[in-house]
Amino acid sequence: MRNLAFQGTWRAYQQKILDDLANLIGDDGLHIVAAPGSGKTILGLEVMRRLGEATLILAPSKTIRDQWAQRLRAMFLPADVAEPDWISHDVRAPGTVTIITYHALHAAFSGRASEEEIADSEEEDNDRAQSVEAGKQETDKARKKIIAKLREGNVRTLVLDEAHHLRNEWWKALTMLKEALGKPTVVALTATPPYDVDPQEWDRYQALCGPIDGEISVPELVLQGDLCPHQDYVHFSLPSTLEAQKLAEFRAQVADFIETLLESAEFKLTILHHPWIMQPIGNVEHILDDARFFSSMLIFLNAQYVDLPQSTLDILGVKAREIPDLTLEWIEVLLNGVIYTHRDDFQDAERTIRYQQDRLREIKAVEHGKVRLTDPRSVQKLLVSSVSKLNAIVDITRLESASMRDELRMVILSDYIRKDMLPTGPADVPPIERMGVVPIFETLRRSGVDLKLGILTGSMVLIPAGSKGILDEIADDLGIGAEHIRYQQAAFDAGFVSVELAGERGRNIVHMITELFGRGGITVLVGTQALLGEGWDAPSVNTLILASTVGSYVLSNQMRGRAIRIDPQAPQKAANVWHLAVIDPEKLEQRIPLHFGRKSTDRKAPDPFDTMTIDLGSDVDALKRRFYAFEGLSFGELPLIESGFQRLMLGTARWDARGVDDINKMMERRATDRKALKASWHSALHSKRAVARMQETLESNYTPKGLVNWNTTKFLFAQSAALAGLILDGVLQGFEVTDIRSLQQLESVLFVAFALLAIFCLPGAFKAGRLLFRNGSLEGSMKQVGTTVLETLHHMGVIRTELGKVGVEATLDQNGIIYCRLEGATTIERSRFLDALREVLVPPQNPRYILVRSSKLWRWKRVDYHALPSIIGRKKEDAIYFAQLWNRYVGDSELVYTRSAEGRLTLLKFRAKSFASAFTRKTDRVSRWE
């Protein structure tokens, strides 16, 4: 590594990390989080160079693996230095620097012969292929041999690129490797830490990569000029005529099924005669095992106007009026329990159940042994792969082509190639009925839009015939002779040629087509998200269309990162990122409104933070999940930088055909004004406090009522007033009115009354005043709950920053939404805090410990339940500590262990309460620049 030296200029965040490298790497590792395009690869190579030891670099794909090697040669070796022979791509023959994929490490450890990995999973059935593991003895032998080779080469540094959401086998291989090498220095680099995983998987990730040492957000990089201004736009479509017809047919069949089910006396009797309904006391343990199914039976019978036994309601601790309305979701729970999960309990009604099961199968509402009435996969697939998205792509491409002209560099990413849909000749014009690379290419080719169109996938490359000369120049620059390039004219259009590179030079094809794209030989490039969606480096991309069905925010953020990189050749670059969504205009509830609730028949959006008040279907839901991690500009008059779908401000939009057209036109107007986009970024970045940064916050429409806010004080003051009235009434009744004959006697009577009032009522009033002073408001309530969580996590060692340096902040907006965050903590400490706080506000269904508080006002009794976060409820001593803090900061409650006999009854009532509030209590995590 002695010849290595960085040939460029460090970015600000890179220089800051390198200046503090000695301190950051003190725990035998470095863990950096930064957005795609921020230069993590270059930073990792420099850290490797400074450590000066033999290194193994692991990447998630071949594309990224090759990018590491390319960056090493281009940015760390002088132009006059020959190609080094100490770079290896084979872990079986490691060099001073060995660069491989996670898959290659697993394959080598498993004893499989060296194999060329597929470039990307571009065909629909690829992910179904399962590798055959070698025998245990052979695997152990192969692993020991590889480890011996690495030890012999004195490999002491591991560089892990995007080491998250890996297959279990890859995790095992990495863990074994790290342990076998002793204590290697681990350099972990990622754009998207797996914050969305469960605590066990996060612990595994952190054990491998170490704690996060530095994190830089997208807005910070835009502020520093390391990423370009950008914006997300959505093109909405309605299903095609054929797709809408299929949706309507399915829903008509489901509606008919439900109407018949609700009118079936036999089915009603089947539910009534279930042992949990007939003898609930004797079946408490069974009910606890599936409280949702028990609740679904009660909800169904209540909707059928059956008078439920009070003993049954007492088990749940609810009254008949508190039972939720019957919805499609509850009918699904009921049918899944009757037909599948608890079928053995209905042996006397087998004929009735078999009849309902057969009907569901006839209408294709059963998938993999589960009833799906609302959004079965067939419906989801119909929407997410709707051919109406092809027309949307044409509209976007026509718009951007007219706006950007020769400067357009558009990439369209899809999931599958669909190579079989390529025409066989000029007269072959088959209908396009599926989404994919070839269908998108063909739709654009037939559209007549003036484009330089191309395809780049792992198994197929098409370029405009007129761009062959540019590609030949690029090949010559790389030392690839014309004899190694094979061109073949496309059978369907003489204006296109396919390209292949012979032998080992085939690995240069992605780089060559990327360079051709950058030089303008291609202006619209269609490819797969598997090949180009992660790690592909093409800074000239200024427009991206995500035609992929991926809903995961990790992969979506990686794809989006292809467009937001700066382009040294275009310093004024601003990027547009287009998302496609097909709305679901009709709801099943509209076909059967009479049986769905006694309050409302509308199907509302499940998220109270979403300003869109109607559920637009599964495709839009998947899009909202994507936006969870996208930090970008809001569409408001005063732009803010925040994450989440609500920043598009579509709350007042209409969702009929005309309304959708108006939304798309609004998006188009914004997309063509890139100058305004850059100005909005500048305004948003510089309008906040001097030291602004992205803040991750928990937003909630709920804080423990009746415990910590004005509801509590109103209750206590009312209790005191009621008691005062009773005392005064009792004192006055002790005297005859005629006995009070003078003002002095009246004063004496009132003195006695108020003396008794002070004795009996002041404690309650004092407590009310104390709570009001301490908590005062909804945000004050949230702060007290957050403080309880914070101090407990600090006591447990989960949060290690000194308490004096951290603090809980809570604010309330005009819509009644409370925002809470932890200041002064590390990234992972903030994440763990928000996870725990969320479980208090919207609890899990099976907590180990519950806090119970009973309040009574005359004859009315109220019981509140609050779950302890799972991370706190693992140990009894931590639960007790949390309860003590809760009683001090929030209000008196009793800690109940739910695994005891008495505790399980409490757990059942807790679940009943949580089911009833499941559609009203919501929390979410959002990032804001402030």
| 287 and 208, same domain (yes or no) | no
Number of domains the chain contains: 4
| In a domain? residue 430 | no
122: helix, strand or coil? coil
695: helix, strand or coil? strand
DSSP string, 31-51: EEEE-TTS-HHHHHHHHHHHH
| Contact between residue 35 and residue 230 where contact means Cβ atoms under 8 Å apart | no
Distance of CA 841 to the CA centre of its chain: 19
| 842 and 904, same domain (yes or no) | yes
Domain final residue pick, 182, 216, 250: 216
| 261 and 371, same domain (yes or no) | yes
In this structure, what CATH number is given to the domain that contains residue 153?
3.40.50.300
Q: In the chain, which stretches have pLDDT less than 70?
A: 27, 113-137, 165, 195-199, 551-554, 587-613, 687-779, 814-816, 843-844, 855-861, 914-928, 930
**In whole angstroms, what is the distance from residue 738 CA to residue 754 CA?**
21
| 720 and 800, same domain (yes or no) | no
| Contact between residue 62 and residue 458 where contact means Cβ atoms under 8 Å apart | no
Q: Quickly count: other Cβ atoms within 10 Å of residue 285's Cβ.
A: 10
866: helix, strand or coil? strand
| Contact between residue 28 and residue 130 where contact means Cβ atoms under 8 Å apart | no
Domain final residue pick, 183, 216, 249: 216
> Residue 758 carries which side chain, given as an amino acid letter?
A
**Residue located via tokens 């996938």:** 457
- Whether this model's pTM surpasses 0.85: no
| 758 and 835, same domain (yes or no) | no
**Residue located via tokens 């792969």:** 385
**In whole angstroms, what is the distance from residue 429 CA to residue 431 CA?**
7
DSSP state of 366: B
Domain final residue pick, 764, 793, 809: 764
DSSP string, 397-421: HHHHHHHHGGG--EEEEES---GGG
Whole-angstrom distance between the N-terminal and C-terminal Cα of the chain?
Answer: 43
Range of the domain at 758: 710-764
Structure-token pair, residue 185: 């220095």
| In a domain? residue 612 | no
| Contact between residue 700 and residue 783 where contact means Cβ atoms under 8 Å apart | no
| 340 and 267, same domain (yes or no) | yes
**In whole angstroms, what is the distance from residue 662 CA to residue 898 CA?**
53
| 172 and 312, same domain (yes or no) | no
| 820 and 884, same domain (yes or no) | yes
Report, in this order, helix, strand and coil percent for the chain, each rounded to 5.
Answer: 50, 15, 35
| In a domain? residue 736 | yes
| In a domain? residue 132 | yes
Residue 249, burial from CB neighbour count under 10 angstroms (0-12, 13-18, 19+): exposed
Residue 902, burial from CB neighbour count under 10 angstroms (0-12, 13-18, 19+): exposed
The pLDDT score that the predictor gives to residue 834 is: 86
| In a domain? residue 97 | yes
DSSP string, 636-650: SSS--EEESGGGG--
**Residue located via tokens 């937001």:** 564
Q: Quickly count: other Cβ atoms within 10 Å of residue 613's Cβ.
A: 12
**In whole angstroms, what is the distance from residue 373 CA to residue 214 CA?**
46
| In a domain? residue 640 | no
| In a domain? residue 923 | yes
Residue 368, burial from CB neighbour count under 10 angstroms (0-12, 13-18, 19+): exposed
Q: What is the CA radius of gyration of the chain?
A: 32
- 528 CB contacts (<8 Å, ≥6 apart)? 120, 122, 413, 414, 415, 416, 417, 437, 457, 458
| 865 and 747, same domain (yes or no) | no
| 138 and 280, same domain (yes or no) | no
| 741 and 801, same domain (yes or no) | no
- 407 CB contacts (<8 Å, ≥6 apart)? 542, 570
How far is the CA of 250 from the CAs of 237, 253, 255, 363, 376, in angstroms?
Answer: 20, 5, 9, 7, 10
| In a domain? residue 5 | no
496: helix, strand or coil? strand
| 795 and 818, same domain (yes or no) | yes
Query: Please, what is the angle between helix 199-209 and helix 168-180, to 10°?
Result: 40
